[in-house]
């Protein structure tokens, strides 16, 4: 099995290192392509018409000057240009949970979405801040991914990917949560004002809003949360509306 590992926190992120360890427990054909710096909340944006720099770091590891999703695009158009492609893309492990509106903002999940455009199964991993790390985490997650891969016929669909949120400690029970609401970026702070020029910053952080059964609720109870997401998601319009147009 050929595995591509990417993230949005950058090539030196601890979560990427752990996920690479997981991948290497599953396969001897692992490629790592990650941004050369932190690219939080980059969503699924890609770079078109501007140069990208790929740095080979040895041992099939590469940094990319672009966005998280660029790591998949450059892999498919350059690294695997001979027509081969990965069997599986693993994304993360994100430094912080990806819940609620993060499903749209997340660069970690943007990687997984981009992978589905190329017809590649993908799993995006995120974990709460300041987890209780254990030397056994890599073994547990390798078994978890192996089990998902063995049962992929039950979850794999065109244009779909898996989002997995990990709690403070592993191992943990697995639940499917309801997608909640917990928006980031709800305030702006003024850094400076000068004539017609105002400099703002939207700070990190969230309210950690939660209702029973949503992702934040179940993660905080110590569960692994897993959802299957898709990128198309159109909803049929009511016939009455169509008749009015």
Residues 34-46 pLDDT 10s: 999 999 888 999 9
Domain ranges for the chain: 2-180+204-244
How confident is the model at residue 238, as a pLDDT? 78
Share of the chain above pLDDT 90, in %: 88
| Predicted confidence (pLDDT) per residue in 167-221, tens digit | 999 999 999 999 999 999 999 999 999 999 999 999 988 888 999 999 999 999 9
What tokens were used for 19?
């996920």
What pLDDT is stored for residue 232 in this prediction?
81
- Determine the pLDDT at residue 48: 95
What's CA 208's distance to the chain center, in Å? 19
Superfamily of domain 2-180+204-244: Survival protein SurE-like phosphatase/nucleotidase (3.40.1210.10)
On the 0-12 / 13-18 / 19+ scale of CB atoms within 10 A, 207 is exposed
What's the pLDDT at 83? 84
The pLDDT of residue 239 is above 80 = no
Q: How confident is the model at residue 241 (pLDDT cuts 50, 70, 90)?
A: low
pLDDT at 154 over 70: yes
The proportion of the chain whose per-residue pLDDT surpasses 70, expressed as a percent, equals 99
Q: Is the pLDDT of residue 242 over 80?
A: no
Interstrand relation of 122-127 and 88-95 (parallel, antiparallel or unpaired): parallel
Q: Helix (H, G, I), strand (E, B), or coil: what is residue 148?
A: helix
Per-residue pLDDT band at 235 (split at 50, 70, 90): confident
- Closest-CA residue to 112 (of 126, 96, 100): 126
CA nearest to 133, candidates 17, 4, 8: 17
- Which tens digits make up the pLDDT trace of 80-135? 998 899 999 999 999 999 999 999 999 999 999 999 999 999 999 999 999 999 99
Tokens of residue 90, six digits? 């693993």
């Amino acid at each position: 099995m050929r595995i591509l590992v990417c993230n949005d926190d950058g090539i030196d992120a601890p979560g990427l290192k752990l996920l690479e360890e997981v991948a290497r427990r599953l396969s001897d054909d692992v490629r790592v392509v990650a941004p050369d710096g932190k690219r939080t909340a980059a969503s699924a944006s890609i770079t078109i018409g501007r140069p990208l720099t790929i740095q080979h770091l040895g041992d099939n590891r590469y940094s990319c000057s672009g966005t998280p999703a660029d790591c998949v695009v450059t892999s498919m158009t350059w690294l695997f240009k001979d027509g081969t492609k990965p069997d599986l893309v693993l994304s993360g492990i994100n430094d912080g949970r990806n819940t609620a509106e993060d499903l749209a903002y997340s660069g970690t999940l943007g990687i997984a979405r981009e992978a589905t455009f190329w017809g590649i199964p993908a799993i995006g991993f995120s974990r709460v801040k300041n987890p209780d790390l254990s030397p056994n985490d890599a073994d547990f997650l390798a078994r978890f991914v192996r089990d998902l891969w063995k049962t992929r016929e039950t979850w794999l669909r065109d244009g779909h990917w898996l989002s997995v949120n990990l709690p403070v400690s592993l191992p943990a029970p697995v639940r499917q949560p309801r997608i909640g609401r917990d928006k980031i970026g709800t305030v702006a702070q003024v850094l400076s004002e000068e004539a017609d020029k105002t400099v703002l910053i939207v700070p990190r952080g969230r309210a950690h809003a939660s209702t029973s059964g949503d992702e934040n609720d179940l993660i905080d109870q110590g569960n692994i949360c897993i959802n299957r997401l898709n990128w198309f998601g159109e909803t049929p319009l009511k016939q009455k509306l169509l008749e009015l147009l």
